[in-house]
Amino acid sequence: MKSVFTKKYMWAILAGMFTLLLPLLASTSVHAASSAEYSQQEVYYNVVGLDSGKCLDVQGDSSLDGTPVIQYHCDGGENQEWYAISANRNGAFYIVSRASGKCLAVGGDTSSDQAPVMLEPCAFKGTEQWRRPSGAVSPLISLHSNKCLDIPDDTNADVVPLQQYSCDNGRNQDWEFVLV
């Protein structure tokens, strides 16, 4: 009888220890998942215009809200490095500046042609969501307006503010993500 009594206590103690350790084990799993997600965000790209061969660039290396995003010759600066975060919606994603941690967004919450593209604090809203048709080189399409990231007038000049514009299959709307 004594050994049964001791076994009951032993099982109760083990069950209690397991109950106490369970939250610790669960938090370790969550931490591991968070680390994996973070490391995925650490893959940086230059976003290069097919027609111009120039990079998506945060003008003046600024981190101010509303700073224009321009095309500029690729110079290796962090203001030309971007990473993507999945929006988990129809294959959409956010494009985030390495230098500022802010999102590429269509300014003014508008669907109009020629709306400026700029930096905004990532609020994870529609004007910050982009999608790409399949292919290594393709347009970046705003999920908000269904319009393309566009180099105005198909120019190759530096310091040209980018805009959204109706998708027209022009090479000035095709972009390639080049691993940094």
- 147 burial (CB, 10 Å; 0-12 / 13-18 / 19+) is buried
Per-residue pLDDT of the chain (180 residues; tens, 9 = 90+): 455 445 554 444 434 433 333 333 333 322 222 223 333 457 999 999 999 999 999 999 999 999 999 999 999 999 999 999 999 878 899 999 999 999 999 999 999 999 999 999 999 999 999 999 987 889 999 999 999 999 999 999 999 999 999 999 999 999 999 999
Q: How far is CA 67 from the centre of its chain?
A: 17
Class of domain 44-179: mainly beta
For residue 141, the surrounding DSSP H or E stretch is: strand 141-142
Buried b (16+ CB within 10 A) or exposed e, 45-59: bbbbbbbbebbbbbb
In 3D, which of 133, 156, 135, 141 has the Cα closest to residue 51? 156
Whole-prediction pTM: 0.76
